[in-house]
Amino acid sequence: MKRFCLATGLLFLLLFWGVLLPFADRASFTVHMIAHMGIVAGAAPLIAIGLSGTRADFPARWAWFTPVVASVVELLAVWAWHIPALRLGSESSSGIAAVEQLTFLAAGLALWLSCLGGGLQEGRDGRRLAGAFGLLFTSMHMTLLGALLALSPRALYGVGDVTCFGFTLSPLVDQQAGGVIMLLVGAAVYLAGGVSLLATTLNSGVPETQRRRAR
């Protein structure tokens, strides 16, 4: 299962970094958001599942790097790269775009590994509970950012029309579509992850006999 998740996550990276971004209009905010959500909400959790319990599972060795800390790191990375000046830099420079994408992957992996990783049973429930909080917090700030982008009355990025999968979009419509993608994909995936961890934590505290009766 772990190998399958790792392979699938790496395949996602190949699709987004090797197919989508090189051949799509990088000036399109919608294209940017598809790649962004694909990395942090698609590839990162799958790779984290594949790496959990291995030497690459660094949060398991760093007790201070809790899911709450990781969620703050994710917040800073996501919001910083959506500052208009940095967004413009990513559109105009392949080097800056590469740093942006690596930052998204690193922040996403750090968060998901801190929530899903760990090779020891001791303290696992506390880690899951903190992970649920970290993922729910991330879902909240992604919901806020997505809503701000989707409901903004003016375009924050770009000044001309862009092409997105054959459709010509104005800067404002392009931005609004990107915000909706963040709302539908990013916020939903992190919310689902947080709820799942919370349910697993609560279920682990119920004796096996009670769980059998409930079935």
Mean pLDDT, contiguous 10-residue spans, the chain (215 residues): 92 94 90 95 93 81 86 95 93 92 95 76 68 92 94 89 90 95 92 88 58 48
Burial 103-132 (b: 16+ CB within 10 A, else e): bbbebbbbbbbbbbbbeeeeeeeebbbbbb
Q: What pLDDT does residue 57 have?
A: 81
Q: What pLDDT does residue 210 have?
A: 47
CA 165/CA 60 separation, integer angstroms: 41
pTM recorded for the entire structure:
0.87
Q: What pLDDT does residue 127 have?
A: 75
- Sequence-separated (6 or more) residues with CB below 8 Å from residue 3: 50
Q: What pLDDT does residue 209 have?
A: 43
Q: What pLDDT does residue 207 have?
A: 46
- Using alpha carbons, list the distances in angstroms from residue 118 to 49, 112, 182, 186, 202: 10, 11, 29, 24, 18
